[in-house]
Amino acid sequence: MSAHTLRTAALAASLLLACTAGAASAAPARKAARPAAQDSVAMYTQERQTDHRDSDDLLTAGLGLDGLRAMTPPAFADAAHPSAAELRRRALWSNWRGIADLAPGGGYGELYGSLANVPGREYSAFARVPGAHQPHRVLVQVPDGFDRDKRCVVVSASSGSRGIYGSIAVAGAWGLPKGCAVAYTDKGAGTDYFDLDAGVGVRADGTVGKPGDGELAFLPDAQARKAGGVAFKHAHSQDNPEADWGRHVQQAARFALRALDRAFPDAAPFTWANTRVIAVGISNGGGAVLRAAELGEEPWLDAVVAGEPNVYVQGARPLYDYTTQAALLMPCALLHKPLGAMPVAPLSGDSAQSFCDFAAEHGLLGDAARAGDTAARAQAAYERMRGDGWSDDALRAGALSVNFDLWRAVAATYASSYGRYAPVARETGAANQPWVAYAYSTATPAAAADAPPAPRAASETERAAWWADASGIPPGAGVQLFGPAGAPRLQSLAGLRELWTGQPLRADADKAGLKAAGERVRKGVEQTRAGAPRKGLPVVVVHGLDDGLIPPAFSSAPYVAMARKAGAQVTYWQVKNVQHFDAFLGLPTLGARYLPLLPYVYAALDRVDAHLAGGAALPGDAVIDTVPRAQGQGLQAQNLAVPK
């Protein structure tokens, strides 16, 4: 990859000063002295309080940096029946490693970020948006060192589809050491898998339970429980949880006020008027806090920081559109030699050439490509994706998503979610929903190198660990996704694309059925469309320009343009040489090519916090020139060039 032209740090600083010259210097006014809306008892159920001190702190459950770096997860004393404390510790280990670059030389805990031992209490519950079939989890961490004078809450939503600790490295690492309470929501996704074979799900404390033993975090209806295999909430709740991400964040913030009233009754009541609330999230969590910013019935938020947000605005390409396109065309486009070396060698169950052949034969690349060789088809796929808004940097970084089979995993999950589909029957397939045809199950390893794995029932020890180990979207934690038996893999991917385009790729396609299914999915996508944030609310959006999973051209850039057109106060930091996954930077080749995003998210939080506390100027827009480190060298401040 050719290097970006680098500007000097002095020029970046001068641009920031120019952009912020007109910013107010006085401390912003407090929100109107209006109490938070009183929550009904029914909004929160299964409320719990746990204490976490000494060797079991809030931030790392006592693991510290060395424990988080360990290659194996914390063990369970009884693998089939782990305790709630063991599950919590292991969930923290999994989520830290899934979000942050903790590798030696990566700078975490030294150059940026905190892994301080923070003692305190956790308050947790199930919360429910009106009309939802399933609850979402909320959790509040209250440090013993809570700053009663500052009275601050940091509220966040999990990245991706992760469980309730899926933003610990984002919000917890910044807020807890500063004496803020930190509130989380899994935003209706999470790792509360339901084993349809065994008929068991997950209790409030993370342990496995049966229906009737108390409320479960996710309980499919009686008909859905006949499907077999594994159901997970993001795909199978039939709620389209993304449509309510903003409300999930707001309910988590309300639960934080409730928790603070209980933690400090002598300082109660905690209300929107007397408590500072800052929302922060990355990826799907970034999209969730932007959706929360548009909820303006009452002035409850003080500032928002959104990193690499998955957010959709009118006129832009939604995630489902560009994901299903990438699933079919990107493996082929990456063969276009002028793109240069990829950060990783793209891998998939089918050769990249088979993707080229399939796309050409089904008319996705034009008439010339149909008659051309693989090189011509790769060029056509590349030109098609470039023409639809993909940058070369996003395409190169997208090789990571090809490598890890993310395009298929995301497309299948979101098709089911947007269409509000029930789980597909593992044995009989999806006769009633042939375009959303994936079933989920644990698997027996393939008998031969060229043979697929076979679905099977999960063991007791496997399902016991799902809540702690899973990322919220299979494949992972032993759960695989399976297309229809006997159907070619690319045909199933094509079906997911057909739902968006409305154009059948198969001669025998049921056009009337496709139209109905496509309208169902498109309706779900439209329900996720973001609006402008409340006027006067400080919002900082941070995005890596090399993001190959959620390219800024489709998400943050159109969001910022829309918000500004509506009169909103938005700062936009675009960071060169940053892609979507900080956790992958421990791999030497990726660490030498890319920089982490989290330092810029923390810096943006510092800037809005200083503004709220004392009237410091809000940051201005910046295109941040970074300097990738040489392979084998530790990360240094000059590599990051974080705006000051």
Dihedral through CA 579, CA 582, CA 587, CA 591, nearest 10?
A: 60
Check: CB of residue 162 under 8 Å from CB of residue 189: yes
Other residues' Cβ atoms within 10 Å of the Cβ of residue 65: 14
**Of 365, 357, 370, 407, the residue nearest 388 (C-alpha):** 365
**Of 304, 189, 193, the residue nearest 248 (C-alpha):** 189
Any bridge partners for residue 456, and if so which? 442
Q: What angle do CA 359, 365, 412 make, to 5 degrees?
A: 45
* Residue 571 backbone class (left: φ over 0; alpha: ψ -120 to 50; beta: rest): beta
Q: In sequence order, what DSSP letters do the residues of 141-201 get, joined into one string?
A: EEETT--TTT-EEEEEE-STT--TTTTIIIIIHHHGGGT-EEEEE-TT-SS--EETTTTBE
Contacts of 328 (CB under 8 A, 6+ apart): 355, 358, 359, 364, 490, 493, 494, 497
3-state secondary structure of 346: coil
Active site residue 283: yes
Tell me how far apart the alpha carbons of residues 169 and 272 are, in angstroms, rounded to a whole number: 25
Check: CB of residue 362 under 8 Å from CB of residue 505: yes
Check: CB of residue 52 under 8 Å from CB of residue 121: yes
Could you say which of 167, 237, 283, 555 is catalytic?
Answer: 283
Mode of pairing for the β-strands spanning 539-544 and 303-307 = parallel
3-state secondary structure of 611: helix
3-state SS string over 218-233? Answer: CCCCCCHHHCCCEECH
Catalytic amino acids? 283
